[in-house]
């Protein structure tokens, strides 16, 4: 009686999960780059119309949204995202 090895070994499961993580990371990076481009349009438009580059009330909304969705770690994640999109204040 010959048995075939289970295709779902721990190593195979880990390798598959890592491939999915890599694909998700690629999508996340692409979305962040897209967000950066859209943020640049907002900033340029705001400055051209006499406004400030940064809208602090809006940033507070974003921080709250990430915190509410992801808990305490959401705040530094949102801060990093904001810094990537608008630069350091």
Q: What is the pLDDT of residues 73-85, one digit of tens each?
A: 999 999 999 999 9
Query: pLDDT value at position 78?
Result: 98
Assign residue 31 a region: left if phi > 0, alpha if psi is -120 to 50, beta otherwise? Answer: alpha
Q: Determine the average pLDDT of the residues in 56-82.
A: 97
> Taking 80 as the threshold, does the pLDDT of residue 9 lie above it?
yes
In whole angstroms, give the CA distance from residue 82 to residue 60: 10
How far, CA to CA in Å, does 44 sit from each of 29, 84, 86? 23, 16, 11
Banded pLDDT at 89 (limits 50, 70, 90): confident
Helix axes 74-86, 56-70, angle to 10 degrees: 140
| Contact between 7 and 13 (Cβ < 8 Å) | no
């Amino acid at each position: 009686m010959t048995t075939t090895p289970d295709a779902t070994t721990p190593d195979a499961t880990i390798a598959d999960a890592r491939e999915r993580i890599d694909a998700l990371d690629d999508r996340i990076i692409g979305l962040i780059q897209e967000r950066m481009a859209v943020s640049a349009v907002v900033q340029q438009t705001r400055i051209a119309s006499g406004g400030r580059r940064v809208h602090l009330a809006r940033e507070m909304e974003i921080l709250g949204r990430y915190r509410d969705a992801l808990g305490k770690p959401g705040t530094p994640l949102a801060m990093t995202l904001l810094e990537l999109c608008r630069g350091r204040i």
